[in-house]
Amino acid sequence: MARSFSRLASLALLNAITIPAPAAATTQTVAVPPPPSAPPAQVSAVPSNAKVKLSWSSVAGAEGYRVFRGSNGAWNPAPIATTTGTTHTSDNLANGTTYSFTVAAYTKGGNGPLSLAVTATPLAPPTGVTAKAGHQRVTLNWQPSAGATSYTVYRKFGSELVFTELATGVVAPPFVDPGLTNGTRYTYQLRAFTADAQSELSAQVSAVAGKNLGGEGPRAVAVSATLVAPPPTSRLASFAPTAARIVSGSGPPSSLMAVQF
């Protein structure tokens, strides 16, 4: 009897407890921001040795920027870089090749409009620069930079600390710096140019004008002559001519030259 009562009490307790029904599942919609409505502005491209540095102004609401590049009239459809900043350096480029760049801001909703395209040509400084001394001059030589249309030569000498521009519009090597003072050291640097870009400065080279001429320029000529007096009984008209030897400063004696008296 007690056992039956216990079962009835348990059933009554369960009926007295209200168990809430499971809550209906809710779906939350996350709003996707629209793509940026404006392109990046003030895009600039600064070339240097085998690279180009890009910069642009920020776009309101952008999560980042995608950079696109082209060359020889063909564009790569995939971005070459994605960044959250407003600068990008494109490196490992071919010097002398002209590259085009454009930038688009983006959000999760997609890319915004592309910026105006800019172009730049990476340019290497002249390499293999040499300076050869001559009599009152120094001759410069170098390996031309791919794509360069001209070069500028800078010089300092003596105790000068700062280079000054010596010559512009130099089309190709060699370059001769004349009218120098023998015994003075002259130091040079070069820069390559295109119509809209310039390279970094080359390595410095120097030479002492007039040193180690190696056969260049005038040389001293030594002249020796031995006069032989005539016998006392001879007349002046029968005075025998002597020979003067012309001897160069460093070479063998030249042929004899008769000196008539």
Q: What 3 state SS string does 29-74 have? A: CCCCCCCCCCCCCCCEEEEECCEEEEECCCCCCCCEEEEEEEECCE
Predicted TM-score (pTM) of the model is 0.66
Query: Which pLDDT value is given to residue 21?
Result: 57
Beta bridge partners of 68: 102
Looking at the 3D structure of the chain, how many domains does it have? 3
Say which range, 29-43, 57-71, 109-123, 222-236, has the weakest mean pLDDT. 222-236
Dihedral pair phi/psi, residue 151, rounded to 5°: -135, 150
User: Do 59 and 83 fall into the same domain?
Assistant: yes
Please tell me the distance from the alpha carbon of residue 125 to that of residue 51, in angstroms, as a whole number.
Answer: 13
Residue where a domain stops, chosen among 56, 91, 120: 120
Q: Is residue 72 part of a domain?
A: yes
For the stretch 114-153, pLDDT in tens is: 999 999 999 999 999 999 999 999 999 999 999 999 999 9
pLDDT of residue 89 exceeding 90, the answer is yes
Alpha helix ranges (H) inside 79-161:
none
Query: Which pLDDT value is given to residue 213?
Result: 59
User: Do 139 and 102 fall into the same domain?
Assistant: no
For the stretch 200-248, pLDDT in tens is: 999 999 999 998 655 444 443 333 334 445 555 544 444 444 443 444 4
User: Do 79 and 100 fall into the same domain?
Assistant: yes
CATH classification at residue 76: 2.60.40.10
Q: Which domain holds residue 241?
A: 221-259
Q: Is residue 25 part of a domain?
A: no
User: Do 131 and 203 fall into the same domain?
Assistant: yes
User: Do 135 and 195 fall into the same domain?
Assistant: yes
